[in-house]
């Protein structure tokens, strides 16, 4: 790994009796896009807010650009940019006013007009914030996060709630920043986002890192198996489909059975024969190569977005 820019060791955070972060550890190198992937409530946002200096850690140590986010908060803010999970500005602030206001907080400032043009907001510079679409608001949030030309960029669920077209636009922007060798930490619960954007991923669940590595390394945990999703006319008894030929494991989610098979033809033939014998109906069948969600299912028995 190149120079370590973010270092997290045994991080802990609790809110009353709820332990949101339970000993999280990871490192992010210079110029790396690192993802924290997990369901809502997994502890991702708490971790990022501690790294940004917005929350106090209850245990462990963190360093960002060699600084303690809590003790060196003012110095750190000059070196980082952040897009929070929700960005809210006054309805009547104009786009150009907002970005210039943010620029005034920093010693080093990027060209705000160039930033607005880069994020396709040049024609909206005189528009009020409340007049922007959801995608335009998110592009403005990204522009404001880059106004100090930060060394490290934190993106907390940057595409949550956006439609697919806008999400692809945000992906393109992040990929540009990746080419510029920005160090980026992304939190997400979108599988495709982590696989497309991240050099390495830590899968987080219930406040703990349960697996980490490159997307390819993590998917190799399921090497030799293929995911088969099956929807049936009638539910099957627990364990029945597990005994089909070549089935390595099986999980059920809201009437859908997810099978991991070491031989798809053998499993499909066995499935069809079994359903014919039971008088059951095959209503849907999808076959796919393993994804990061398969890793999550194998580790937790749950879908990522549950």
- The CATH number that applies at residue 272 is 3.30.70
On average, the pLDDT of the chain sits at: 93
- Is the same domain home to 180 and 235? no
Asked if residue 175 and residue 231 are part of one domain, the reply reads no
Domains: count for the chain:
2
Answer yes or no: is 12 within a domain: yes
Angle subtended at Cα 35 by Cα 139 and Cα 37, rounded to the nearest 5 degrees: 105
Q: Is residue 153 part of a domain?
A: yes
Q: Over the stretch 91-121, which tens digit does the pLDDT of each residue have?
A: 999 999 999 999 999 999 999 999 999 999 9
287 neighbors 228 (Cβ within 8 angstroms):
yes
Domain-terminating residue out of 219, 249, 266: 219
**pLDDT above 90 coverage of the chain, percent:** 83
Residue 302 lies in a domain: no
Helix (H) or strand (E) run with residue 77 in it: helix 73-77
**Position 138 pLDDT exceeds 70:** yes
Q: Are residues 197 and 57 in the same domain?
A: yes
User: Based on the domain organization, do 175 and 54 belong to the same domain?
Assistant: yes
pLDDT of residue 50 exceeding 70, the answer is yes
Q: Is the pLDDT of residue 201 over 90?
A: yes
Are 58 and 111 within one domain?
yes
Sequence-distant (6+) residues with CB within 8 A of 85 are: 45, 156, 157, 160
Q: Residue 192's CB: how many other CB atoms inside 10 A?
A: 13
Domain end residue (candidates: 219, 243, 258): 219
Residues 61 and 180 in one domain: yes
Asked if residue 230 belongs to a domain, the reply is: yes
- Together in a domain, 128 and 70: yes
Please check the confidence at residue 306 and state whether its pLDDT lies above 80: no
Does 252 lie in the same domain as 119? no
Question: Could you give phi then psi for residue 197, rounded to 5 degrees?
Answer: -100, -30
Domain membership of residue 306 (yes or no) is no
Is residue 21 located within the same domain as residue 165?
Answer: yes
Are residues 271 and 161 part of one domain? no
Kindly list the strands in the beta sheet with 80-83, ordered across the sheet, starting from the edge strand earlier in the chain.
80-83, 152-156, 183-188, 33-37, 200-205, 208-213
Based on the fold, state whether residues 93 and 151 are members of the same structural domain: yes
Whether the pTM exceeds 0.85: the reply is yes
**Over residues 13-29, mean pLDDT:** 97
Reported as type and span, the H/E element at residue 184 is: strand 183-188
Partner residues linked to 21 by β-bridges: 13
Q: How confident is the model at residue 222 (pLDDT cuts 50, 70, 90)?
A: confident
Range of the domain at 275: 224-289
CA 38 to CA 187: how far, in whole Å? 8
């Amino acid at each position: 790994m190149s120079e370590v820019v973010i270092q997290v060791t045994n991080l802990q955070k609790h809110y009353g009796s709820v332990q949101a972060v339970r000993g999280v550890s990871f490192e992010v190198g210079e110029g790396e896009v690192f993802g924290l992937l997990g369901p809502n409530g997994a502890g991702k946002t708490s971790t990022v807010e501690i790294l940004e200096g917005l929350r106090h850690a209850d245990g462990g140590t963190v360093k960002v650009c060699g600084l303690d986010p809590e003790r060196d908060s003012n110095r750190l803010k000059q070196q980082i940019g952040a897009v929070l999970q929700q960005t809210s500005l006054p309805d009547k602030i104009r786009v150009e006013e907002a970005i210039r206001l943010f620029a005034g907080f920093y010693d080093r400032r990027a060209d705000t007009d160039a930033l607005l043009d880069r994020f396709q907001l040049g024609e909206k510079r005189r528009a009020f914030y409340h007049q922007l679409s959801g995608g335009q608001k998110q592009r403005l949030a990204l522009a404001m996060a880059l106004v100090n030309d930060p060394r490290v960029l934190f993106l907390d669920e940057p595409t949550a709630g956006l439609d697919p077209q806008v999400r692809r636009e945000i992906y393109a922007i992040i990929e540009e920043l990746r080419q510029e060798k920005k160090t980026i930490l992304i939190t997400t619960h979108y599988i495709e986002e982590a696989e497309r954007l991240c050099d390495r991923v830590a899968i987080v669940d219930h406040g703990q890192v349960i697996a980490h590595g490159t997307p390819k390394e993590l998917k190799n945990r399921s090497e030799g198996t293929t995911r088969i999703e099956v929807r049936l006319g009638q539910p099957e008894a627990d364990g029945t489909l597990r005994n089909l030929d070549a089935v390595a494991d099986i999980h059920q989610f809201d009437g859908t059975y997810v099978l991991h098979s070491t031989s798809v033809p053998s499993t499909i033939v066995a499935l069809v024969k079994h359903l014919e014998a039971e008088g059951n109906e095959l209503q849907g069948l999808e076959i796919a190569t393993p994804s990061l969600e398969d890793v999550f299912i194998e580790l937790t028995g749950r879908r990522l977005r549950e």
